Amino acid sequence: MLPFLSIAKARKLLVTKKISPRELLDELQKRIVTINPKVQAYLSWDYEKAALEAQRADLSKPLGGIPIGIKDAILVQGAPAFSASRILEGYQASYDATVIKNLRAAGAYPLGRLNMDEFAMGSSTETSAFHPTYNPWDLSRTPGGSSGGSAAALAAGMAMAALGSDTGGSIRQPAALCGCVGMKPTYGRVSRYGLIAFASSLDQIGPLTHTVEDSALLLNALAGPDPKDSTSLSLPGEDFTSQLGRDLQGIRIGIPKEYFVDGIEPQVRQCVEKAIAQLTSLGAEAVEISLPHTQYAVSVYYIIVTAEASSNLARFDGVRYGHRSKKANDLLSLYEQTREEGFGAEVKRRIILGTYVLSSGYYDAYYLRAQKVRTLIRRDFEEAFSKVDLLVSATSPETAFRCGEKSNDPLKMYLADIFTIAANLAGICGISLPCGFAQKEGKKLPVGLQLLGPSFAEKMLFRVAHAYEEATAWHQDPPPLL
């Protein structure tokens, strides 16, 4: 089926004119019309606009004719951009994010707005102000989050690829739960200009794809310096596909003992251990290492991320754009009523926590101390990468959980990202790819393998991930929702 083709295979068909960009788009449109009412991955899509872009696609470019689903936090000029929040309902972006400009320059074009947790705050896509998204492998379960719409659309064959953002695992965790490939680039590798901010020192845009090769192809287009983003790194362009196909001889993979603890579902652990054995059979050497400050990562993350969210979301006040309360009778009540009506419960919770840890008398005790521990976590990774080339673990300690299962227990939900958040705190790169299935109540649910590398080691991660993918067939299994 065309919608499940990799970008690399679709490009061969496009270049040889066996299919046209419009035919590819039409196949995706049929899938969206049929499947999206069940999965609810899209918030909106503009077929007519996409059809115009497909007709003028330049097939000589590396991604020519490929439609890409876009997470609702990434701006596309003229398209709605709500970040799945009522407070931005009705807002239309006045400019393209840099990543959208880069995709267009490579010949791709945006297709639709994909659902997410409100302002990317969540791990299940249930905090979206509009509707939850469901996992194509089992519609009673979540797709993960916050980029759950991106992962679900891809897994269900409603997108050739998708963009997400990763603040604490929001690309990798839903990729794992939906059985696709999710890449979090090194912090600063991809411009954040045009991304509706959640936590600016942690956010990073990245691709979700069917294959590792597709992920590398998309990162070729996305990565690069941007003068409009002060945290963007001035690195020359690279070909992230250049090491694909190389063997794993001489590669040392670290097994962090803190990531193999009680609490991992037995079937998940079994799949990951088999994946490690597969990597060693391909020539890699496994070495046990330690990341001693891992136990503090969740606490540190939820101090820093809420503090930055409190600062970033202060701009939504009902004065300049987005929702404005009609109940207000003075400036203070305008702020209060607008935010009361516009923000959901999880966003309010995080703003309150963040304001508290930044407040006078508590800043040193919480925020400053958390930043110091963040440095220790970063040093743990530096020490580990002086001994090994990359780290391997489960992406998520569990498979997709049921809708509503964790909604009333924020701490339980926060722990869903326990293996992913440290990479954001350290600013390093990571990728999740399928490594097997668990059986639950007669349903087959994907398991994700996480590879973490030092900063700027994306090519090495792609090399190892691609070697594993080529030796297995997990990525070739579509969900039962056909």
Rounded to two decimals, what is the model's pTM? Answer: 0.97
For residues 325 and 202, state if they share a domain.
no
pLDDT value, residue 439: 96
Asked if residue 392 and residue 332 are part of one domain, the reply reads: no
Beta strands in 185-233 (DSSP E): 205-209
Residues 89 and 161 in one domain: yes
Residues 329 and 392 both lie in one domain: no
Q: Which of 147, 165, 170, 310 is catalytic?
A: 170
| CB 196, CB 75: distance < 8 Å | yes
Kind plus residue range of the DSSP H or E element containing 452: strand 443-453
Residues 368 and 395 in one domain: no
- Residue 209 has φ and ψ, to the nearest 5°, of -145, 170
Q: Give the active site residue among 6, 71, 124, 165.
A: 71
C-beta neighbour count of 159 within 10 angstroms: 31
Same domain, 321 and 396: no
Q: Is residue 279 part of a domain?
A: no
List the CATH number of the domain containing 184: 3.90.1300.10
- Does a structural domain hold residue 104? yes
Same structural domain, 55 and 141: yes
> What amino acid occupies position 450?
Q
According to DSSP, the residues that pair with 392 across neighbouring strands are 451
**CA dihedral over 65, 67, 68, 74, signed as positive or negative:** positive
Answer yes or no: do 397 and 353 share one domain: no
Tokens of 179: 């059985």
Q: Which of 138, 173, 128 is nearest to 419 (CA)?
A: 173
Integer-rounded Cα radius of gyration of the chain:
21
Place of tokens 């995709």: 103
Catalytic residue among 6, 146, 432, 455: 146
Measured between alpha carbons, how far is 231 from 216 in angstroms, rounded to an integer?
22
Query: What pLDDT, on a 0 to 100 scale, did the predictor assign at position 348?
Result: 97
State whether 226 and 355 are in the same domain: no
Residue 72 token pair: 């609702």
- SS3 of 134-195: the string is CECCECCECCCCCCHHHHHHHHCCCCCCEEEECCCCCCHHHHHHHCCEEEECCCCCECCCCE
Q: Give how many domains the chain has, as a whole number.
A: 2
Nearest C-alpha neighbor of 275 from the set 393, 408, 100 = 393
Q: Please state the three-class secondary structure of 112-147 as a single string.
A: EEECCCHHHCCCCCCCCCCCCCCECCECCECCCCCC
- Give me the tens of pLDDT residue by residue for the chain, a chain 482 residues long: 788 999 999 999 999 999 999 999 999 999 999 999 999 999 999 999 999 999 999 999 999 999 999 999 999 999 999 999 999 999 999 999 999 999 999 999 999 999 999 999 999 999 999 999 999 999 999 999 999 999 999 999 999 999 999 999 999 999 999 999 999 999 999 999 999 999 999 999 999 999 999 999 999 999 999 999 999 999 988 999 999 999 999 999 999 999 998 889 999 999 999 999 999 999 999 999 999 999 999 999 999 999 999 999 999 999 988 899 999 999 999 999 999 999 999 999 999 999 999 998 899 999 999 999 999 999 999 999 999 999 999 999 999 999 999 988 888 888 889 999 999 999 999 999 999 999 998 899 999 999 999 999 999 999 999 999 999 999 998 998 76
Q: Are residues 432 and 347 in the same domain?
A: no
Q: Is residue 71 annotated as part of the catalytic site, yes or no?
A: yes
Gap between the Cα atoms of 393 and 408, Å rounded? 28
Domain that holds residue 189: 2-253+387-403+418-476
- Residue 284 inside a domain? The answer is no
Q: What is the pLDDT of residue 321?
A: 81
The gap from C-alpha 230 to its chain's centroid, in whole angstroms, comes to 22
CA 73/CA 204 separation, integer angstroms: 12
In this prediction, residue 32 carries a pLDDT of 97
| Beta carbons of 91 and 72 less than 8 angstroms apart | no
The rounded distance, in Å, linking the Cα atoms of 92 and 88 is 9
- The residue among 477, 470, 473 whose CA lies nearest residue 212 is 470
Shared domain for 51 and 102, answered yes or no, is yes
Does 43 share its domain with 105? yes
Residue 482: per-residue pLDDT:
65
**Residue 260 falls within a domain, yes or no?**
no
**Helical packing angle, 266-281 and 458-471, nearest 10°:** 100
* Contact call for residues 196 and 81 (beta carbons, < 8 A): yes
CA-nearest of 143, 194, 199 to 167 is: 199
- Residue 146 a catalytic site member: yes
* Residue 18 appears among annotated catalytic residues: no
